[in-house]
């Protein structure tokens, strides 16, 4: 029989694997528009290493902001729309490692829950938990001409560390975004097993 602590540890490890997969996939997908547009506008084929390179290359502030918004919303599509509409309860990373987001109160996850969990907390509050935070920092800096990177990095790093601490050492392995959205992450196999048990109970009754 599997020990509960062992199960929690494995779930936590899987969440870390899913995090890195999503970081890579989400980062590449969100960054594609900027790389293509930068290459077209400058004629350069060298990899784009920072969104600040747009204005350094002589590209206007307005176009830079437009590209930042495109990249940001592509990232939102990856982290919000995919688990809501394409793979219900799963980002690409969670689908690969066999995890799923579910509601703590057994209700169906709605767009409001995903918005709170994925957008408000994961993207805006925890920040560095997704690669999309880069576009937020550059957008604010480009718009206001105030370099906000070190301040946002500090805030986001602290909140992300706290969130990881809750996930690894908290009683229910809930990150901050899970706690406030009233969600948790389980192994897909557990959900399928529970469905099977529910079907058996239904047949018996």
Q: Which two tokens stand for residue 34?
A: 């900027």
Angle (CA) 49 32 57, round 5°:
45
pLDDT tens-digit profile, the chain (205 residues): 444 454 454 566 888 899 999 999 999 999 999 999 999 999 988 888 899 999 999 999 999 999 999 999 999 999 999 999 999 999 999 999 999 999 998 778 999 999 999 999 999 999 999 999 999 999 999 999 999 999 999 999 999 999 988 888 887 778 999 999 999 999 987 655 555 554 443 333 3
Nearest alpha-carbon partner for 184 in 106, 115, 122: 106
Where helices occur in 77-187 by DSSP H, the ranges are: 92-97, 111-114, 133-144, 149-169, 176-181
């Amino acid at each position: 029989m599997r020990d509960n602590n062992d199960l929690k540890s494995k779930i936590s490890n899987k969440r870390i694997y899913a995090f890195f997969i999503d970081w890579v996939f989400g980062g590449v997908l969100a960054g594609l528009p900027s790389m293509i547009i930068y290459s077209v506008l400058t004629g350069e084929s060298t990899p784009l290493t920072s969104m600040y390179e747009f204005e350094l290359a002589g590209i206007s502030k307005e176009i830079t902001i437009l590209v930042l918004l495109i990249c940001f919303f592509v990232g939102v599509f990856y982290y919000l729309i995919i688990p809501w509409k394409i793979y219900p309860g799963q980002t690409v990373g969670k689908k690969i490692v066999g995890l799923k987001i579910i509601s703590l109160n057994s209700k169906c996850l709605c767009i409001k829950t995903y918005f709170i969990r994925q957008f408000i907390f994961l993207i805006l509050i925890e920040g560095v938990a997704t690669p999309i935070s880069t576009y937020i920092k550059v957008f604010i800096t480009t718009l206001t001409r105030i370099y906000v990177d070190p301040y946002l990095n500090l805030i986001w790093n602290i909140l992300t560390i706290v969130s990881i601490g809750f996930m690894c050492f908290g009683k229910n392995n809930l990150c901050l975004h899970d706690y406030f959205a009233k969600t948790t992450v389980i192994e897909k196999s557990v959900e399928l097993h529970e469905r099977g048990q529910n079907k058996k109970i239904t047949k018996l009754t």
